[in-house]
Amino acid sequence: MEKLAIGGLILILIFFTQVTPEKVERELEKALRKSLTAKSVDVELEGSPGFPTLQGKFKSLTIRVDGLSFSGGQLLEMLPIRFTDKPEKEGRVGKVVLSLHESIYEGLTISELEAHAYDVRFDLKGSVKEKRLVLLSATSGTLSGFISSNSTQKYLANQAIKHGIESLKVQLKHETVEIEGMWKVELAGANIAKIPFNAIAELFPTGNEIRWRLKEARIAELIPLPSGWVQGRLQNFNPLIRFDLSPIQVQIKNLKVLPEGIYIFAEFSLSRENLRDEQVELATKAGVFYPHQPF
């Protein structure tokens, strides 16, 4: 009897040492690599083996994605998630971090984008069965990002061509943006002149958008231009960037412009209310994902 008890204890110990966060981590990594168009995806799940893992209780989940390319409104199609209010077995993650590096969004390269959230609740059994994250509650957190000066230059230069501006050069300063270029003047559809100009603008957030407004402008650095005339043309660029991360709702709270680039600080939320009617059907069939916090 004693040997049987010892043998049973050994089997139990072997079983629970095999039930580890690392195994869950590998399955999640496989699912994300399959659904995301990225260069690399790495997942780190921290927790204790045995009962805590079986109960779906984990300390933290960190997801790093390099080279993700996506456009506005694509997240729902790319990330496996849905909501439920009838979980088979509830699990929790104390902290979730989603870290994107060198992502390309609508032609703009974002050097770093990091989201953090805390106490994320999910359906453990439902997630395992469906191979996606089945959330129980709304998720909210903080978001921060960095766009380099080189990336800003390339992005705005490409946008400028659409608005009749050639050879646009962008230089980030402390809290302002200096721009110069050649404005094309057309008459009856024909180019009749190119006006060299330079201007100083400032960036500001509104909702999920980054916009700019004119501070001053001149022709060839000499003749002041009517602010209303220039402002009207610069307004055509607005919004410079719109972060359409639906069904994740983003509110940019602050921007910091420095010579090396633009720092973004925001809050976000992900809940069933954020899903439009057509998205609810898609989410039920395919899913969507979750993140949370800044760097």
Distance CA 235, CA 228 (A): 10
In a domain, 169, yes or no: yes
Same domain, yes or no, for 140 and 279? yes
Give, as one character, the DSSP assignment of residue 8.
H
Distance CA 13, CA 21 (A): 16
Same domain, yes or no, for 135 and 27? yes
Give the pair of three-digit tokens for residue 229. 């005339």
pLDDT digits (tens, 9 = 90+) for 261-278: 999 999 988 765 554 444
The pLDDT of residue 273 is: 57
Distance CA 177, CA 160 (A): 15
Our separate counts of H helices and E strands in the chain read: 8, 16
Q: How many CA atoms lie within 13 A of 267 on its CB side?
A: 6
In a domain, 155, yes or no: yes
Share of the chain above pLDDT 70, in %: 75
Global pTM value: 0.79
Q: Which of the two residues, 88 and 110, has the higher pLDDT score? A: 110
Beta bridge partners, 116, equal 97, 292
The pLDDT of residue 138 is: 63
Same domain, yes or no, for 180 and 272? no
- Residue written as token pair 């969004």: 105
Q: Which of the two residues, 222 and 31, has the higher pLDDT score? A: 31
Strands 241-242 and 209-219: antiparallel
Residue 27 — φ and ψ, nearest 5°? -65, -40
Same domain, yes or no, for 114 and 175? no
Same domain, yes or no, for 110 and 129? yes
- Domain ranges, residue 139: 22-147+245-251+263-285
Q: Is the pLDDT of residue 60 over 50?
A: yes
Q: How many domains does the chain have?
A: 2
Same domain, yes or no, for 212 and 280? no
Q: Is the pLDDT of residue 214 over 60?
A: yes
The pLDDT of residue 211 is: 94
The pLDDT of residue 220 is: 64
Taken in order 116, 121, 123, 125, is the CA torsion positive or negative? positive
Pick from 66-75, 146-155, 251-260: least confident: 66-75
| Angle, CA of 141, 119 and 140, to the nearest 5° | 20
Question: Under 8 Å CB-to-CB from 270, ≥6 apart: which residues?
Answer: 81, 135, 138, 139, 140, 247, 248, 249, 288, 290, 291
Amino acid identity for residue 71 in this structure: S
Same domain, yes or no, for 196 and 60? no
